[in-house]
Each structure stands twice: as structure tokens, then as C-alpha cells.
Chains A and B, each alone.
Chain A
């Protein structure tokens, strides 16, 4: 997957969690949680959806690496290169 694909996947997952999420002006280097008002429960959904869709096992200690859109790309790209 390209980095753009991965961004689209993350945004699609968040849209699925919250239909009303507003992505206008989203800064890819700032935490998703603050910008989209996601709480820790919502955040877990991103991890679980990635597991469900791509069979990715993301250990709890790696959750902080999914903080921003760009850090998601950096962390997921090696894991999803064949996806």
C-alpha cells in the first residue's frame, strides 16, 4: 500500500466510527484524537478494525505510534506493504 492508501484506510475507519467526523483542515502531524475528539475507546476501534481488515496484531505498547495520520503511515507501511 502507498502512504496515500494507508491514509485513506485510516480515514475510512474513523468515518465508520463517527459519521460526523470532520476531516477538513486535518493536520497529518497532529494527534488524531485531539483534532477529531476521539476518546481512548474510539481509538481502540481503529486498532481493532485494522486487525479485522488486515489481520494486523498491534501490541498495546505500539498504540502511541498511531497517534497522528503520518505516524500511522510510518508504522503501518512496512506491515501493509503486501496488502
Chain B
């Protein structure tokens, strides 16, 4: 078997890369090792319900007519219409540092600006300087790592405001412990605070089906349950791959979305983890499905709450415990405008976690399962502390540990944001194989899809 372009990984970046290439050259093969597409953003069924694996909210909301907005550029590149999807915008979200301050934000950036002005009046002028920096900075020209924490420290000169601004941006897009690259910060600031959050009215499955349908319509081929075992090379040139059940495919070019070290493994090259400047970040995700909980009806409806209970906000995987409950993200998937009603409600929580701790536990299934249940209980207690109560009528709950994420996605250490070092131009030492997605560096659903598109534009289309 042979193909012109082999795309490894059927997540959002792989699907976008494959569609983009197939628009002009249908000889594209996309392989996904799992039985379902989606990668980090897939779905599963339990308790007669479709649950999303990773989706809280999609960043980069844009009005339909805004041609330059990343979301609309992406749709044009993939030849998709806004009408192919049904999007719901967030009701409004919150950054809550307990005992310190709270900032609301929504898809109208003025909401955040007014909050900063009201609660940090002494820093308002400096915050405006930050806005100018975000407007003027070019984050897409590859540059060496520059600390956003240090830059914000200087620009804002207000440690609490600095941490409150960093908290959501790190949780939704930093692969680096306790800091975020300034370019990535600028991208995330625009994506979350200036553009905003939305989600499909149905589920991520709807988006995946539109993408898979588009790829097939353009003549591309999708193979699920089809892992790549080995990339076959001649020098720095990939000539093919060993895939599926002992099949060999020859290809002219490869886009790999599975990660930098993960791709080196496929190439049989040594991977040097020590090259990564900080440990990878791992998380746990809890899902609670519950019957309506009247005690929360008087609470303001938030879409996402990024909270911190510590004196300072720290963003690294815990050393001596499985999960750090000091901070986290709470997501209410029904709290988007126009979401169709459901009889059962869902809420999700995310906390930083230790991959090593969970990996060691996984050897003893009984203890591992027990610890998962404990994690759900402690996360629930954290919410009870925040909201005064927690739904007593949970009908289904599940916890994904870093080990779960590693098992289903193949991400080393279950690190959803991948390597702390990124490869902005997709090059990593092969002349016809390029990285896209997580380790190229554009994160989030819109970001990872733009990553797939731009790597194909840069490396594949001009040479086809």
C-alpha cells in the first residue's frame, strides 16, 4: 500500500491536517490507533450517556463575519461553513482566588476590563499596558522561551493580579510548570479573554463527524484501530510505516500529531527526556453526573470557574501526593447559551496530578481504584467548600488519572499539553516528517486544528 501523505493520529490536529492536504491531493491516509477519532478530545458512553473525554469549552469564539478571527480562518481553510456546526457561547466564567479576589469574564472582553478596573484600581493603567503588549506582540514568529510570569510581574507589578490572569491561561494551555512562554501567553490571552469560550450544542462527536465526513468527501482515507508501530527510514527520510496488523505502507511525507518523543520512539531514535526543561504536567479529571441540585439554584450560573485556595498560585505536578486540590478548574457543560436541556446535569473538575504516583499505584488495581474514588470524593469536598454544598444525588462519576490518559491517548506521562519544549515550525530532524498538534505548540481545539493546517500549508502543499 502507498499514499502521498500519511497522517499519524486522528485527533483534531490530524483531522485538520488531512482535510487540508486532501483538498488539493486526495491521496491522504489518516491512521488512528483508537477505535474512535478525537485523540484528547474524544467521547465515550456510560450510563446511557455520551461523555466527552476532554472538552470543557472551546476557546477562540468569533462572530461569523469576523474574517480574520482564527476560528473563521480555520473554517475557510477546511472549506467548512459555520452552518455545519451549532455553537453555544459561554454564559460567563470566573477566576476565583479564595479569600483574595474574584474576576468575572465573558465573551465580551469589557466584562473582564471592568472587573480589573473595579477590583484592582491601582493597577488599571498597568493592565492597559498589558493589553497593548498583547495587541502588539507577534506570537507566531518562532522565538526562544520568554517567561510570561516575569514579564507580567514587571508590567503589572501586582502579584495577585498577575497570578489571577495566569491561572486560566496556564490551565488551558501551558505545557510548562509554573510558567508559560510569553508568545503562548499572548495566544491564550487572546483566545480566552478577547475572543472567548463556546461549545457545540451537542457534543464533540458532532464536530468529529463533520471533520471525518469532510475528509472522506475529499477522497481521503481514515483507518481507526490502526496503530503505527514503526516509521521506516532511509537516513533522515521516512519512506514508510509499519501499521495495523503487520501491514506496510509507503509514503512520501508524514505529519505526526502524536508528540515529539512519541514520534522519536516510532523512528527508533533515542529520546532524551533530560532535554525538557521542566517536568511534564499531568492532570486528573473528574466527571459527576447528577440529578438537578436545588441548593445550587440561587448560585450565579458560571460556565467555568478557575479557582485557587493557596496563598500563591502554583502550577506544577505535586511531588508527594497523587493530586493537588489547592487549585483547579470547574466546568458546567450545561452553562452555555442555548444548550438543549437534559434531565441529568454534569459537572467536571480538573486538578494537577502526579504521573509517577498514579503509575506506581496502577500496579495494584485495588488500591488504584480506591484512590480514584478518594480523588472524586476530595474533589467533591473542594466544591462543597466553594459552593456550600455538593450534589448528594450523583448517578454516575468517573475519574481520569494521568495513567488513564496515557493509556487512551498515548501521551507520555499522560501529559495532555505534551512536551514543555515546542517545535513551532514542526521540524525535528527529519526532512519529510513534521510535527503538528500538541508538540508543534498551538493548543486547544481551534489551536491544534490551525496547527495541522499550517504545518500542511508550510511543508506539504508547496511540495506536492
Contacts and interface: CB of A to CB of B under 8 A. Distances in A.
B24 A60 contact: no
Contacts, number: 26
A48 B461 contact: yes
Nearest to A49: B24
Interface in B69-89: 73, 76-77
Contacts of A51: 24
B202 to A, nearest CB: 26
Question: Mostly helix, strand, loop or mixed at chain A's interface?
Answer: helix
A39 B457 CA distance: 13
A41 B457 CA distance: 7
Given A48-B23, A60-B462, A37 B457 contact: no
Given A41-B453, A51-B24, A18 B462 contact: no
Contacts of B457: 41, 44
A8 interface: no
A37 B65 CA distance: 12
A15 B461 CA distance: 21
B354 to A, nearest CB: 40
B67 interface: yes
Contact of A39 (B23, B24, B65, B68): B68
A20 B77 CA distance: 15
A17 interface: yes
B175 interface: no
B462 A41 contact: no
A41 B73 contact: yes
A27 interface: no
Interface string A19-43: 0100000000000000001010110
A17 B77 CA distance: 8
A5 B400 CA distance: 59
B454 interface: yes
B462 to A, nearest CB: 5
B67 A17 contact: no
B425 to A, nearest CB: 15
Nearest to A43: B457
B124 to A, nearest CB: 33
Nearest to A48: B24
Given A17-B76, A18-B76, A51-B24, A44 B67 contact: no
B64 to A, nearest CB: 10
A37 B453 contact: no
A20 B66 CA distance: 11
Nearest to A17: B76
B462 A39 contact: no
A44 B24 CA distance: 11
Contact of B68 (A20, A37, A44): A37
Contacts of B65: 20
A41 B454 contact: yes
A21 B73 CA distance: 14
Interface string A39-60: 1011011001001100000001
B11 to A, nearest CB: 21
5 contacts: A20-B65, A41-B454, A42-B76, A44-B461, A45-B77
Interface of B: 23-24, 65, 67-68, 73, 76-77, 453-454, 457, 461-462
Interface of A: 17-18, 20, 37, 39, 41-42, 44-45, 48, 51-52, 60
